[in-house]
Structure 1
């Protein structure tokens, strides 16, 4: 008899239930009596998970949670302030449900379990971005609410009677080949006393994470100007009265690229070249796109790793310019030290040291088992003392790699490790709904071990300056300008000097046929409030990026209209001027008023990659709005 999840609706089809690569390839080879490790990497859990999935079914969404809470809220239409209050109450409701499940086990148990189930959502929205957000919400919930000490749910295979693995499931005759292969494998982490009810607990968490994403998406719509409508009779329960204009604006924003260059939440950007190069580390990113027949990864290909058609790992490798990141953020050094009591350089060097050791093992030592672990788990286990010895041993080489002389300082390194480590104090600082700030070093399944989760290094670096005042450093705007420039600016990037003694400074300009594009750069920090749907955060970006940016560039256009020829420039040959704003982030455009658009689909506020795509087009014919005639 199949067990139901709490509040079930209808079963997931077998094709809908998320299965990892190892689950599927295990089924492919399920009749083999001996696992050929040269053909596949044996995963002890694969057949067991396949069996446990056959005993359960899971409702596809967590609407039962939604209905339970919102049925207690009177039906009606709510403006932003009461909506925000109800959203916050619902988030607290969801977090409590998460906490009640997660706190039963250790963080190492949850990390081990979650990395053996393919990334997906238990909701109707299965876009790549939604899958990534739901997984990050789950990681944040694990770090915030899980036990930090080892628990009985996970242990090493040599430390447990094999009759207790999966509650004795391997003792069943149908698992004889699995047990035979398992006994030949090295000592490894295994789930103990785990059955279908534990698997259902995990899927309950997936539903709760989806609901946390869902309430955030609703809050962001309300923050953009709609009212919330609570209808107990509606299938979705939560509706809104967005106008047709707002619907189009949201759709336009959702269809744009989110992150197109290396940037932190401070709004600080740094250049990123394609392909491995000096100053880069190798990180992992969640693999959410499985639409292609073959999995391709340039780093795996360098090692000769291939996957069978239709099979995918959970993660892929990605290069990250850690040297460029540190140099770009050095102007935050003083306030970082004041806030956290440790120098920024040491924190980034510790991350670089660990990641560079990983890169060496992959590309110099050709450690294929490590590659498999990173593709599927994205973490490694290490003894803290070994980690510290490794950091010390590599420090001089890392300093050369980072192109920065930094003397080894054990005291500073210990403080950096502490800042990056999960403990009771740091657990309290984590916000589940905005999934941060996360920690790199996680307590392991034994007191003498720690996990290092490479899948969240990018997220950690993005939010590394959380809690610091986001001052308007001049260097930050210059870095955005430098990242933007792929060729020389047509106008001087210093002062353009008029013949009457007046002058204007333009961040960047590009000549395209008879059109001169003037660029204004705005590097404004982004708060967690944007993701949480806070009106104040949304209005802050409208004021300081969109309105200020357009206001500044339009004033410059007005000036150049009156000063076509100057002491160090001449724009008299152009027919049109057009002004755009470049932001470190994709900005939501709040109005269809022509002032904000270059044509019906392209806003005047762009990311760097959007701008580069724009100037690769026939601008004179592409742009239909805000072309200012010079004559």
Structure 2
């Protein structure tokens, strides 16, 4: 695949609709009778006779055209009113002087918003809501609030989907059916046939009906216009949920809060706080998953989509296309250039991830009852199974084209296979590879039942799902006669799979793993790494250099800090932030003392750094970290880069330095 290019057109937020819910666009109903070659995106089938829309498109477009004002009311006005009422009822607690009381009051409002989402979502199945929600484009109405950026969009949508998986029904499966087994007049609660009969001739309606029968796709049945209103209402509530969590993050960073008469929470930021928060948000948005993934224990794995002969190692992850990349940007040459899918592909190399985390294998098995290697192998095999319906087909190095269009567009696919059929196909592929020596031998065969159960969502597991934490995640959701396989769930499932492990790293292996990962990434980005996990000696004094980079006569020392970051960091837990600041203060002091040691001792028993005319020091974390002050010792001379940086930040800084020095 080509490298993704940002399209100015796709990034233009001005295109978002203010006075009606942005998402499904109006559809020109007449264009569907043109004689041209097209693709049915649900099935991947081609037709040379007539353009076939996805079954829901005309109905949803009509609902948006006719009921735009009602959608806007539910989406923007009603969700905002609910949040404001909740704030007003807790106003005295939020503006009180007790810091912990303020935080708890805001946390209680999150619970109220969850309960309101639950009241809507519980009326339908998990499949119903995911099917509906993933057909609404991932962008937010600007009227929801001051920040509707791409990063916020991703956050809001992930929260909606966690709420759907937590509160949607798994026992009731009567609100959808196979198009081949349902009367045409019952699809979308009858709205489909009513609209088609109104705008098309009888022979065209008959054609659509026959095509739907043949396609055997899952369609919504127990459906009404209110369901469209409600899914927008839930997304609006999720935005308000994000709004409250953003205030909690600011509170955790020491910002004073006040409440307006309407029920809005105002942040009384100092100039210093404003600069620091804006900088943190910028760095956080830049640290996207395309570079790599930091697991919750702090070990980093680069996103390595390389030429491989082992497609089973590549776990295909569907990631929300909030930037609205087009088919042209994605290099999908056999699709319309301006087609903008709701999800874009991202890959985790299962083998690389296992190598980075193999030190956890024993503790992992003890906690879960199956192996880390086996889980990652299963993920790779199932990922390929999801994309191809046959794990023996190669996913990487094939044209994504129609396969992408029909399956990746929604971030999930439906498999009309039993659990035993899926497991049997995976094990057959595994055994074929084992015989040819193309896969590491494991206990996958004896553990596959337990692993399958681990990634499968059932009613007992729903109560443990967290909305703001985006965990736990489940890839498989049972539906009638098969499974919904959610490729987007791999991201958080793999990233957070080690939560709950205790005393898992007594030999401090993960620190060296992170050092090696950083060194390899910097080398891949064409930087001269002169030392990596190297102990320098000057007489009887020893100091360890994690990673050292040379640019001309300048030495850059990087101390690596691979520490767990608790989940509640994402909602600004004051104790977590305070503890993390203390840890990084100590690490920065250690890095500065290393710099001073090298300055005074450029030549030692086993090293010669006499060429270094200048020496700079930094601390690198797998995560985007909060930098708590603007004091010079926390920032580089240009003040654009903090000395506490992420992997992506280190690359950006060194790139800037190289450009400045070479020019």
Question: What TM-score comes out, normalization by structure 2 length?
Answer: 0.84
**1:442-457 to 2 correspondences below 5 Å:** 442-444=477-479, 446=480, 448-457=481-490
Partner of 2:423: 388
Q: Distance in 2 between matches of 1:401 and 1:548?
A: 47
Q: 1:607 to 1:494 in 2, by over 3 A?
A: same
For the pair 1:306 / 2:317, whether they are aligned, the reply is no
* Equivalent residue pairs, number: 596
The 1:460–1:27 alpha-carbon spacing in structure 2 relative to 1, beyond 3 Å, is farther
Structure 1 contact 381–450 (Cα < 8 Å) conserved: yes
Which residue matches 1:272? Answer: 303
C-alpha distance in structure 2 between counterparts of 1:361 and 1:619, whole Å: 39
The answer to whether the 8 A contact 2:326-2:340 is kept is no
> Who is 2:128 aligned against?
109
User: What's 1:344 paired with?
Assistant: 372
**What is the CA deviation profile of residues 161-188 of structure 1, one whole-angstrom value per residue up to 9, with x for unaligned ones?**
2222222223333253456324223221
Q: Distance in 2 between matches of 1:489 and 1:468?
A: 33
The 1:247–1:364 alpha-carbon spacing in structure 2 relative to 1, beyond 3 Å, is closer
**Greater shift after overlay, 462-471 or 346-355?**
462-471
Q: 1:470 to 1:208 in 2, by over 3 A?
A: farther
Change (3 A) 1:362 1:494: closer
Normalized per residue, the structure richer in helix is 2
With over 3 angstroms needed to count, the CA separation of the structure-2 counterparts of 1:469 and 1:26, relative to structure 1, is farther
Indicate if the aligned counterparts of 1:315 and 1:376 stay in contact, CA closer than 8 A: yes
Distance 1:589 1:207, change over 3 A: same
Aligned partner of 1:241 among 251, 262, 268? 268
- 2:594 is aligned to 556
Are 1:100 and 2:131 counterparts? no
1:627 is aligned to none
Please say if residues 319 and 346 of structure 2, whose CA atoms lie closer than 8 Å, have aligned partners that are also in contact: yes
Show CA shifts across 1:448-496 (max 9, x none). 3111100121121111112223755622112221122215643574221
The answer as to whether partners of 1:477 and 1:523 remain within 8 angstroms in 2 is: yes
Once the two structures are superposed, what CA deviation does each residue of 1:76-108 show, in whole Å capped at 9, x if it has no partner?
Answer: 455531121111110110111111111111111
CA shift in 2, pair 1:369/1:192, >3 Å = farther
Change (3 A) 1:353 1:340: same
Equivalent residue for 2:536, pick from 492, 496, 520? 496
Q: CA separation in 2, counterparts of 1:480 and 1:15?
A: 48
Flag the 1:206–1:617 CA change in 2: closer, same or farther, 3 A.
Answer: closer
- Partner in structure 2 of residue 85 of structure 1: 104
- Superposition TM-score, scaled by structure 1 size: 0.88
Match in the other structure for 1:542: 581
The change in CA–CA distance for 1:397 and 1:263 in structure 2 (over 3 A counts) is: farther
- Aligned partners of 1:456 and 1:189: how far apart in 2? 21
Equivalent residue in structure 2 for 1:506, among 531, 545, 563: 545
Partners of 2:366 and 2:535 in 1: CA distance: 36
Structure 2 unmatched runs, 5+: 1-15, 40-45
User: Once structures 1 and 2 are overlaid, which stretch shifts more, 322-331 or 36-45?
Assistant: 36-45
Which of 320, 333, 336 is the aligned partner of 1:286?
320
8 Å contact from structure 1 (residues 77, 227) kept in 2 = no
Consecutive unaligned residues in structure 1, runs of 5 or more: 1-11, 623-631
After superposition, the CA RMSD in angstroms is: 2.7
User: Match of 1:187?
Assistant: 216
Separation (CA, whole Å) in 1 of partners of 2:477 and 2:307:
28
Answer yes or no: is the 8 Å Cα contact 2:304–2:348 preserved in 1. Answer: no
Q: Please state how far the C-alpha of 1:416 moved relative to its aligned partner.
A: 0.6
Shift of 1:390: 1.3
Q: Name the residue aligned to 1:66.
A: 83
* Most deviating of 93-102 and 380-389: 380-389
Contact 1:138 1:206 (C-alpha < 8 Å) held by counterparts: yes
Correspondence 1:153 to 2:175: yes
> Is the aligned partner of 1:54 residue 2:65?
yes
On the 8 A contact 1:275/1:319 being kept in 2, the answer is no
How far apart are 1:294 and its partner, in Å? 6.1
Q: In 2, Cα distance between the equivalents of 1:255 and 1:321?
A: 27
Distance apart, 1:541 and its partner CA:
2.3
Asked if 1:167 is matched to 2:184, the reply is: no
Q: How far is the alpha carbon of 1:65 from its aligned partner?
A: 1.1
Structure 1 308/273 Cα, relative in aligned 2: closer, same or farther at 3 Å?
A: closer
Q: How much does 1:133 deviate? A: 0.9
Mark the CA change 1:98 to 1:332 in structure 2 (over 3 Å): closer, same or farther: same
Following TM superposition, by how much is the alpha carbon of 1:156 offset from its aligned partner in structure 2, in angstroms?
1.3
Instruction: Determine helix, strand or coil for the equivalent of 1:159.
Output: coil
Tell me if structure 2 keeps the 8 A contact 1:580–1:606. yes
8 Å CA contact retained: 2:156, 2:235: yes
Deviation (angstroms), 1:385: 2.4
SS at match of 1:55: helix
**Cα distance change on mapping 1:41 and 1:334 into 2, 3 Å:** farther
Question: Structure 1 98/78 Cα, relative in aligned 2: closer, same or farther at 3 Å?
Answer: farther
Question: Which of these residues, 441, 445, 452, is aligned with residue 405 of structure 1?
Answer: 441
| Structure 1 partner of 2:381 | 353
Match of 2:5 in 1: none
Q: In structure 1, how many angstroms separate the alpha carbons of the residues matched to 2:622 and 2:250? A: 22
Deviation of the 1:374 alpha carbon: 2.1
State how far apart, in whole Å, the 2-side matches of 1:414 and 1:208 are.
38
**Residues 407-464 of structure 1, C-alpha deviation per residue, up to 9 Å, x if partnerless?**
4423x111111111111221121111222111111121x1x31111001211211111
> What's the counterpart of residue 278 of structure 2?
251
